[in-house]
Amino acid sequence: MATITIQDSVTLYYKDWGTGQPVVFSHGWPLCADAFEDQMFFLAQHGLRAVAHDRRGHGRSSQPFTGNDLDTYADDLAALLTALDLKDAVLVGHSTGGGEVVRYLGRHGSARVAKIVLIGAIPPLMLQTPANPGGLPMAVFDGIREGVRKDRSRFFKDLTLPFYGYNRPGADVSEGVREDFWRQGMLAGFPAAYFCIKAFSETDLTEDLKKIDVPTLFLHGDDDQIVPIDASARAAIKLVKNAVLKEYPGGSHGICTTQKDQVNTDLLAFIQS
């Protein structure tokens, strides 16, 4: 297993496939680097270096009780880029990973970054507040916390239905995809599975978005039931210079799986543009 040891003695597991310009993936909650295997394999076949780590507390990385917040996640990403000496990188973040990428740019700048891609990403802010009336009520996130606390195995399996749009009429449901989501979710330690909910729901990334100074591509399903598009991508793009939003009609939160061929094509075209 390829690993690096970073701040507070945390070990991060990562995959590193192919050669060429690096494309670095940050996964969503409660998953791990395996969630991006379709994209990594495709890009590595097209002359690019695909790198993805398991976020602290997730997958095969260490499971510390502390540090399950976006500042630390961003600093861990910075440590990975530095350890592998990655330059001219394209950062790709899905869901919580999109928040990680945006917070990375806000804290560390773009010296190592050429472009970014945000897929079904959480910025600017998921939580409903007086300043963000389009967000989701706290009760939604309290319900997620209770689901994780009470029976996270069942909660993760049930979550696959709205995550991939499998609860929509006529959906082509893959039990294999559902089982793999459950497998990845159960690899996460309980602290990360629980505390990351606060990180992805309550972190305001508005000012970080304004600091982005590299070409940015938003990919988002317009039927995303996990991170609704109106309060996320459609709001975030207004804050980012030199950004493009591509909406996937009928697309779910899990478009990297359910519409992987289109996502792969869009990623490659953006990287090569």
Active site residues: 95, 224, 253
Q: CB–CB of 106/99 below 8 Å?
A: no
What's the angle, vertex CA 121, arms to CA 257 and CA 264, rounded to 5?
A: 35
Sign of CA dihedral 13, 15, 19, 20: negative
Strands 216-221 and 243-248: parallel
Q: CB–CB of 17/25 below 8 Å?
A: no
Q: Residue 195 class from Cβ within 10 Å (0-12 exposed, 13-18 middle, 19+ buried)?
A: middle
Rg of the Cα trace of the chain?
17
Q: Residue 64 class from Cβ within 10 Å (0-12 exposed, 13-18 middle, 19+ buried)?
A: middle
Q: What is the distance between the alpha carbons of residues 216 and 231, in angstroms, rounded to a whole number?
A: 18
Q: Which of 259, 228, 250, 253 is nearest to 170 (CA)?
A: 250
Q: CB–CB of 247/221 below 8 Å?
A: yes
